[in-house]
Amino acid sequence: MRHLFFGGVEPPHKKDMSLASREMHTITPQQVVIPLLQHIGTPCQALVHVGDDVRAGEKIGDAEGLCVPVHASVSGRVIAIEPRPHTSGREVMAVVIRSSDAASSALQTHPPLEDDADSDEVLGGIREAGVVGMGGAAFPGDAKALSAMGKIDTLIANGCECEPYITADDMLLRTHPEQVLQGLQILQRLLQPQRTVLAIEDNKAAAIERVRSCCTGFPQIELAVLPTRYPQGSEKQLIQALTGREVPAGKLPAAAHCAVFNVSTCAAVFRAVRLGQPLTHRIVTVSGESVSQPQNFWVPIGTTFRDLLHAAGADSSIRRVISGGAMMGRAQSSLDVPVVKATNAVLCLPHDSNCAEEDGTCIRCGKCVGVCPMHLQPLYLYRYEKLRKAEQLQRLNLFDCIECGSCSYICPAKLPLVERFRAGKQMLKERGTS
């Protein structure tokens, strides 16, 4: 069978679990924990103090440089500003708000922009709303758009959502496709590409039908239905699938004259520009074999995993809680970590189906090489990382690894490949050789 990009794997989808409920459910936590760092770049500085009363949508943190603000997701009183557990595994300064209005929602914080707004106004609106990439990278949305202006001919909305279990983007496309298309249209006017595409994998029939019915009102947007294969949702693989171009090693998509935005990001752009609403809520999939009611929730940023699991009916069989997907997500050691802007899923598993074994032995079968979508040699990267050989890791282009987990998934020895590659990247950064 011919694939649209090299490598990749086909893990079980397991998406029907959270789609049994066709509606999004809301959570109204009594308290939210809002980290002041939810994006790549400079952490925010708190703009509020303990004891302050805040309203939903109010800016509570900001800074200069590569940074976007964070906003209160509920109305209430600030009860703490202190380090709290974060999904990255670190502790991050956070603003803790006790809700005084369980039904509070994001308020308009700046005037909506009209169609004739200039580029600076649109970029400013995106920034002030705190929009970041919501597919995982959390790069500031205004900075990403600015870096692509005048450099691209193809704009892509990424609705592939290729990870097992996760259906947050699928649910968005089923329920609010017009928000995605209008947000993509805003980016289209900003970036002026020759081609604009919304890409969805073919295992999302209901979403495809809804988007196709809405696309008649957006004749300049092309719907591309792609065969399902992991990790097609990775922007470099998606670019290759849609255009045949390869992003050069160490380069960004603009080097291939493309820009890729997650569909949830597109919807957030629409709400920021057309409604004047900041990014205070998002869709989160809660799923896994240890959840009695897998479903999608519309939740305030800062809702703790504990509250999410309680709402989804997590049971006593849980042995592992993962932020994100089964392939690329991170296992959590605390249920007190909060939902952040890039949190698309929380998985509750009775065991790790691909449990890594640190003392396993590589049998040099080469399967990891055959599935690596970046044409890397994971078996040698693993060996040199264990030996702390920085020069060899650089020579083998460790930083080109997208940490998709295809190698770990296929490895018969269950070696902790991705974990070691992350450690190797950190070693290189500390040595100043990245």
Q: How far apart are CA 375 and CA 397, in angstroms?
A: 10
Nearest to 268 by CA among 160, 151, 176, 389: 176
Top-confidence residue, 103 or 71: 71
Under 8 Å between Cβ of 170 and 295: no
Nearest to 61 by CA among 97, 87, 35: 35
Residue 3 has what pLDDT?
Answer: 53
In three-state secondary structure terms, 355 is coil
Nearest to 101 by CA among 121, 77, 126: 77
Q: How far apart are CA 68 and CA 139, in angstroms?
A: 9
> Which of 50-54, 80-84, 112-116, 346-350 is predicted least confidently?
112-116
What average pLDDT does range 360-365 have in this prediction?
88
Confidence band of 1 (pLDDT split at 50, 70, 90): very low
Residue 2 has what pLDDT?
Answer: 44
What percent of the chain is predicted at pLDDT more than 90?
84
What average pLDDT does range 205-229 have in this prediction?
96
What average pLDDT does range 398-418 have in this prediction?
94
Helix axis angle for 205-214 and 177-191, nearest 10°, is: 60
Residue 434 has what pLDDT?
Answer: 60
Q: Is the confidence at residue 318, as pLDDT, over 90? A: no
Write the Ramachandran bin of 9: left for phi over 0, alpha for psi from -120 to 50, otherwise beta. Answer: beta
Q: Is the confidence at residue 46, as pLDDT, over 60? A: yes
Q: What is the mean pLDDT of the chain?
A: 92
Confidence band of 432 (pLDDT split at 50, 70, 90): confident
What average pLDDT does range 240-247 have in this prediction?
94
Residue 151 has what pLDDT?
Answer: 96
Q: Is the confidence at residue 358, as pLDDT, over 60? A: no
What average pLDDT does range 239-266 have in this prediction?
94
Q: Is the confidence at residue 108, as pLDDT, over 70? A: no
Residue 341 has what pLDDT?
Answer: 97
pTM score: 0.94
Strand order in the sheet with 70-71: 45-46, 59-62, 70-71
